[in-house]
Protein backbone atom coordinates (compact mmCIF):
# COMPACT_ATOMS: atom_id res chain seq x y z
CA UNK A 1 0.00 0.00 0.00
CA UNK A 2 1.45 3.34 -1.01
CA UNK A 3 1.33 6.57 0.96
CA UNK A 4 -0.79 8.05 -1.82
CA UNK A 5 -3.61 5.56 -1.34
CA UNK A 6 -6.97 6.99 -0.27
CA UNK A 7 -7.23 4.63 2.71
CA UNK A 8 -3.91 5.74 4.17
CA UNK A 9 -4.74 9.41 3.68
CA UNK A 10 -8.14 9.12 5.38
CA UNK A 11 -6.59 7.21 8.30
CA UNK A 12 -3.97 9.96 8.64
CA UNK A 13 -6.79 12.52 8.74
CA UNK A 14 -8.53 10.60 11.54
CA UNK A 15 -5.37 10.29 13.63
CA UNK A 16 -4.04 13.82 13.24
CA UNK A 17 -7.33 15.73 13.27
CA UNK A 18 -9.11 13.70 15.94
CA UNK A 19 -6.74 11.53 18.00
CA UNK A 20 -3.90 14.04 18.23
CA UNK A 21 -6.34 16.91 18.81
CA UNK A 22 -8.07 14.82 21.48
CA UNK A 23 -4.72 14.21 23.16
CA UNK A 24 -4.18 17.97 23.39
CA UNK A 25 -7.67 18.51 24.81
CA UNK A 26 -7.03 15.78 27.37
CA UNK A 27 -3.86 17.45 28.64
CA UNK A 28 -5.68 20.79 28.68
CA UNK A 29 -8.41 19.22 30.83
CA UNK A 30 -5.83 17.97 33.33
CA UNK A 31 -4.19 21.41 33.48
CA UNK A 32 -7.57 23.04 34.12
CA UNK A 33 -8.39 20.55 36.89
CA UNK A 34 -5.08 21.15 38.61
CA UNK A 35 -5.69 24.90 38.45
CA UNK A 36 -9.20 24.53 39.88
CA UNK A 37 -10.86 25.68 36.63
CA UNK A 38 -13.57 23.05 36.68
CA UNK A 39 -15.89 24.30 33.89
CA UNK A 40 -12.85 24.34 31.59
CA UNK A 41 -11.93 20.84 32.80
CA UNK A 42 -15.41 19.58 31.93
CA UNK A 43 -15.42 21.23 28.50
CA UNK A 44 -11.93 20.04 27.52
CA UNK A 45 -12.67 16.54 28.83
CA UNK A 46 -15.81 16.44 26.72
CA UNK A 47 -13.85 17.59 23.68
CA UNK A 48 -11.19 14.92 24.20
CA UNK A 49 -13.65 12.02 24.44
CA UNK A 50 -15.68 13.37 21.52
CA UNK A 51 -12.61 13.45 19.28
CA UNK A 52 -11.47 9.96 20.25
CA UNK A 53 -14.93 8.65 19.35
CA UNK A 54 -14.83 10.47 16.01
CA UNK A 55 -11.37 9.05 15.34
CA UNK A 56 -12.74 5.53 15.81
CA UNK A 57 -15.71 6.32 13.54
CA UNK A 58 -13.50 7.51 10.69
CA UNK A 59 -10.86 4.79 11.03
CA UNK A 60 -13.62 2.17 10.77
CA UNK A 61 -15.56 4.05 8.06
CA UNK A 62 -18.70 4.45 10.12
CA UNK A 63 -20.94 6.84 8.12
CA UNK A 64 -21.94 10.02 9.90
CA UNK A 65 -25.64 10.18 10.85
CA UNK A 66 -28.10 12.52 9.06
CA UNK A 67 -28.41 14.61 12.22
CA UNK A 68 -25.06 16.01 13.45
CA UNK A 69 -23.86 14.47 16.70
CA UNK A 70 -22.48 17.80 17.93
CA UNK A 71 -21.19 17.21 21.46
CA UNK A 72 -23.43 14.27 22.35
CA UNK A 73 -21.08 11.61 23.71
CA UNK A 74 -23.81 9.04 24.35
CA UNK A 75 -24.95 9.21 20.72
CA UNK A 76 -21.37 9.07 19.49
CA UNK A 77 -20.69 6.00 21.64
CA UNK A 78 -23.88 4.35 20.39
CA UNK A 79 -22.72 4.89 16.79
CA UNK A 80 -19.68 2.72 17.46
CA UNK A 81 -21.95 -0.31 17.47
CA UNK A 82 -21.40 -0.19 13.71
CA UNK A 83 -17.67 -0.89 14.15
CA UNK A 84 -16.46 -4.43 13.37
CA UNK A 85 -15.53 -4.88 17.05
CA UNK A 86 -16.92 -3.99 20.46
CA UNK A 87 -15.38 -1.05 22.30
CA UNK A 88 -15.25 -2.41 25.83
CA UNK A 89 -15.55 0.31 28.48
CA UNK A 90 -15.72 0.04 32.27
CA UNK A 91 -18.57 1.33 34.38
CA UNK A 92 -16.26 4.08 35.65
CA UNK A 93 -15.73 5.28 32.10
CA UNK A 94 -19.42 5.25 31.22
CA UNK A 95 -20.08 7.30 34.37
CA UNK A 96 -17.60 10.04 33.46
CA UNK A 97 -18.97 10.07 29.90
CA UNK A 98 -22.44 10.75 31.32
CA UNK A 99 -21.10 13.44 33.64
CA UNK A 100 -19.34 15.19 30.75
CA UNK A 101 -22.49 14.86 28.64
CA UNK A 102 -24.56 16.43 31.42
CA UNK A 103 -22.28 19.36 32.26
CA UNK A 104 -19.37 19.69 29.82
CA UNK A 105 -21.20 21.27 26.91
CA UNK A 106 -22.44 24.29 28.88
CA UNK A 107 -19.50 26.67 28.78
CA UNK A 108 -21.37 29.82 29.81
CA UNK A 109 -22.83 28.72 33.15
CA UNK A 110 -26.23 28.21 31.54
CA UNK A 111 -26.77 25.40 34.05
CA UNK A 112 -25.39 24.59 37.49
CA UNK A 113 -22.51 22.12 37.67
CA UNK A 114 -20.54 20.09 40.20
CA UNK A 115 -17.26 18.16 40.38
CA UNK A 116 -16.86 15.80 43.33
CA UNK A 117 -13.08 15.38 42.97
CA UNK A 118 -12.66 11.94 41.41
CA UNK A 119 -13.57 13.05 37.88
CA UNK A 120 -9.98 13.66 36.79
CA UNK A 121 -9.01 10.10 37.70
CA UNK A 122 -12.06 8.81 35.84
CA UNK A 123 -11.18 10.91 32.80
CA UNK A 124 -7.66 9.43 32.86
CA UNK A 125 -9.14 5.95 32.81
CA UNK A 126 -11.68 6.81 30.12
CA UNK A 127 -9.02 8.25 27.82
CA UNK A 128 -6.81 5.20 28.34
CA UNK A 129 -9.68 2.78 27.62
CA UNK A 130 -11.12 4.56 24.58
CA UNK A 131 -7.83 5.60 23.04
CA UNK A 132 -6.66 1.99 22.74
CA UNK A 133 -9.10 1.63 19.81
CA UNK A 134 -7.90 4.82 18.07
CA UNK A 135 -5.71 3.01 15.55
CA UNK A 136 -6.23 1.40 12.15
CA UNK A 137 -6.98 -2.32 12.20
CA UNK A 138 -6.25 -4.87 9.51
CA UNK A 139 -9.12 -7.29 8.94
CA UNK A 140 -6.70 -10.22 8.81
CA UNK A 141 -5.40 -9.53 12.33
CA UNK A 142 -8.45 -7.84 13.87
CA UNK A 143 -9.27 -10.62 16.35
CA UNK A 144 -5.67 -10.77 17.56
CA UNK A 145 -5.40 -6.99 17.89
CA UNK A 146 -8.62 -6.74 19.90
CA UNK A 147 -7.45 -9.60 22.12
CA UNK A 148 -4.24 -7.67 22.83
CA UNK A 149 -6.25 -4.57 23.74
CA UNK A 150 -8.42 -6.52 26.17
CA UNK A 151 -5.36 -8.26 27.64
CA UNK A 152 -3.84 -4.86 28.44
CA UNK A 153 -6.42 -4.54 31.24
CA UNK A 154 -4.53 -7.17 33.26
CA UNK A 155 -1.20 -5.34 33.11
CA UNK A 156 0.05 -1.97 34.41
CA UNK A 157 -1.65 0.61 32.17
CA UNK A 158 1.53 2.52 31.32
CA UNK A 159 2.77 -0.56 29.43
CA UNK A 160 0.13 -0.13 26.71
CA UNK A 161 1.21 2.37 24.07
CA UNK A 162 0.04 3.44 20.63
CA UNK A 163 2.72 3.54 17.99
CA UNK A 164 3.28 7.14 16.95
CA UNK A 165 0.78 8.50 19.49
CA UNK A 166 1.13 12.11 20.57
CA UNK A 167 0.82 11.27 24.27
CA UNK A 168 3.54 8.65 23.86
CA UNK A 169 5.83 11.22 22.21
CA UNK A 170 5.25 13.66 25.05
CA UNK A 171 5.93 10.96 27.65
CA UNK A 172 9.27 10.01 26.12
CA UNK A 173 10.41 13.63 25.77
CA UNK A 174 11.22 14.75 29.31
CA UNK A 175 11.79 18.31 28.09
CA UNK A 176 8.35 18.63 26.50
CA UNK A 177 6.49 21.54 28.17
CA UNK A 178 3.24 19.51 28.39
CA UNK A 179 4.80 16.43 29.98
CA UNK A 180 4.48 17.56 33.61
CA UNK A 181 0.75 18.25 33.12
CA UNK A 182 0.27 14.81 31.57
CA UNK A 183 2.05 12.74 34.22
CA UNK A 184 0.90 14.70 37.30
CA UNK A 185 -1.03 12.26 39.53
CA UNK A 186 -1.69 10.09 36.47
CA UNK A 187 -2.16 6.38 37.06
CA UNK A 188 -2.67 5.59 33.37
CA UNK A 189 -0.19 7.72 31.43
CA UNK A 190 3.21 7.69 33.04
CA UNK A 191 6.69 6.27 32.57
CA UNK A 192 6.25 3.97 35.57
CA UNK A 193 3.60 2.09 37.51
CA UNK A 194 1.79 4.11 40.20
CA UNK A 195 -0.10 2.41 43.01
CA UNK A 196 -1.95 5.50 44.22
CA UNK A 197 -2.82 9.01 43.08
CA UNK A 198 -4.52 11.91 44.79
CA UNK A 199 -7.95 13.21 43.77
CA UNK A 200 -9.41 16.69 44.24
CA UNK A 201 -12.18 18.08 46.40
CA UNK A 202 -15.74 19.20 45.82
CA UNK A 203 -16.39 22.12 43.45
CA UNK A 204 -19.85 23.37 42.44
CA UNK A 205 -21.56 26.50 41.17
CA UNK A 206 -25.19 27.44 40.65
CA UNK A 207 -26.22 29.10 37.43
CA UNK A 208 -27.77 32.59 37.79
CA UNK A 209 -30.67 31.27 35.69
CA UNK A 210 -31.23 28.46 38.19
CA UNK A 211 -31.37 30.97 41.01
CA UNK A 212 -33.56 33.43 39.11
CA UNK A 213 -35.41 31.76 36.21
CA UNK A 214 -37.74 34.76 36.27
CA UNK A 215 -35.18 36.65 34.16
CA UNK A 216 -35.18 34.05 31.37
CA UNK A 217 -37.18 36.04 28.81
CA UNK A 218 -35.08 39.15 29.34
CA UNK A 219 -31.81 37.23 28.99
CA UNK A 220 -33.05 35.59 25.77
CA UNK A 221 -33.36 39.04 24.20
CA UNK A 222 -29.62 39.52 24.33
CA UNK A 223 -27.93 36.12 24.62
CA UNK A 224 -28.30 32.75 22.92
CA UNK A 225 -29.43 29.85 25.08
CA UNK A 226 -29.82 26.26 23.84
CA UNK A 227 -33.43 25.24 23.32
CA UNK A 228 -33.31 22.38 25.92
CA UNK A 229 -32.03 24.88 28.50
CA UNK A 230 -34.85 27.32 27.75
CA UNK A 231 -37.45 24.55 28.02
CA UNK A 232 -36.03 23.32 31.34
CA UNK A 233 -36.05 26.79 32.90
CA UNK A 234 -39.57 27.48 31.64
CA UNK A 235 -40.69 24.27 33.35
CA UNK A 236 -38.86 25.27 36.52
CA UNK A 237 -40.49 28.71 36.46
CA UNK A 238 -43.94 27.20 35.88
CA UNK A 239 -43.40 24.93 38.88
CA UNK A 240 -42.42 27.91 41.03
CA UNK A 241 -45.56 29.74 39.97
CA UNK A 242 -47.67 26.74 40.93
CA UNK A 243 -45.90 26.54 44.27
CA UNK A 244 -46.20 30.27 44.84
CA UNK A 245 -42.43 30.72 45.11
CA UNK A 246 -41.91 32.69 41.87
CA UNK A 247 -40.44 36.16 42.37
CA UNK A 248 -41.17 39.43 40.61
CA UNK A 249 -38.01 41.17 39.42
CA UNK A 250 -38.13 44.96 39.22
CA UNK A 251 -36.99 46.51 35.92
Which residues are bridge partners to 61 per DSSP? none
Are residues 124 and 229 both part of a single domain?
Answer: no
Are residues 177 and 237 both part of a single domain?
Answer: no
Angle, nearest 10°, between helix axes 20-34 and 38-59? 160
Identify which of 123, 122, 190, 121 has the alpha carbon closest to the alpha carbon of residue 159. 190
Are residues 84 and 15 both part of a single domain?
Answer: yes
pLDDT at residue number 21: 98
Are residues 156 and 225 both part of a single domain?
Answer: no
Determine the Cα–Cα distance for residues 123 and 159; give it in Å rounded to an integer. Answer: 18
Are residues 61 and 171 both part of a single domain?
Answer: yes
Determine the Cα–Cα distance for residues 180 and 1; give it in Å rounded to an integer. Answer: 38
pLDDT at residue number 2: 62
Residue 248 lies in a domain: no
Residue 251 lies in a domain: no
Phi-psi category of residue 21: left, alpha or beta, with phi > 0 → left and psi -120 to 50 → alpha: alpha
Residue 181 lies in a domain: yes
Residue 35 lies in a domain: yes
- Is residue 76 within 8 A of residue 62, CB to CB? The reply is no
Report the domain count for the chain.
2
pLDDT at residue number 233: 96
Residue 250 lies in a domain: no
Are residues 100 and 178 both part of a single domain?
Answer: yes
Residue 89 lies in a domain: yes
Are residues 30 and 144 both part of a single domain?
Answer: yes
24, containing H or E segment: helix 20-34
pLDDT, tens digit only, all 251 positions of the chain? 566 799 999 999 999 999 999 999 999 999 999 999 999 999 999 999 999 999 999 999 999 998 888 899 999 999 999 999 999 999 999 999 999 999 999 999 999 999 999 999 999 999 999 999 999 999 999 999 999 999 999 999 999 999 999 999 999 999 999 999 999 999 999 988 887 888 888 999 999 999 999 999 999 999 999 999 999 999 999 999 999 998 988 88
Residue 249 lies in a domain: no
Are residues 110 and 217 both part of a single domain?
Answer: no
Q: Which long-range contacts (CB under 8 A, 24 or more apart) does 193-198 make?
A: 193/156, 193/158, 197/121
Are residues 216 and 190 both part of a single domain?
Answer: no
Compute φ and ψ for 196, nearest 5 degrees.
-150, 150
Residue 63 lies in a domain: yes
Segments forming the whole domain that contains residue 45: 6-204
Tell me, rounded to whole angstroms, the distance of Cα 43 from its chain centroid: 8
pLDDT at residue number 3: 60
pLDDT at residue number 192: 85
pLDDT at residue number 235: 95
Q: Model-level pTM greater than 0.85?
A: yes
Are residues 200 and 213 both part of a single domain?
Answer: no
Q: Which residues contact 223 (CB under 8 A, 6 or more apart)?
A: 108
Task: Summarize pLDDT for 145-178 with one digit per residue, the tens.
Answer: 999 999 999 999 999 999 999 999 999 999 999 9
Are residues 180 and 230 both part of a single domain?
Answer: no
Determine the Cα–Cα distance for residues 165 and 12; give it in Å rounded to an integer. Answer: 12
Are residues 222 and 176 both part of a single domain?
Answer: no
- Is residue 78 within 8 A of residue 59, CB to CB? The reply is no
Amino acid sequence: MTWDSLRVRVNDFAIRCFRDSGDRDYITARMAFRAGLMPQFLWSGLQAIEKYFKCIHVLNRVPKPPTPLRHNLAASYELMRKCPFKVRLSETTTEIIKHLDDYGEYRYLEISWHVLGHERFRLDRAVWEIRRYCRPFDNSTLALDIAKIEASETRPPHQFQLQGGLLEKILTNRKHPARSALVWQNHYFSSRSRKRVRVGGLHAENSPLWLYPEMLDEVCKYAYLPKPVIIAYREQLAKRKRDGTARTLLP
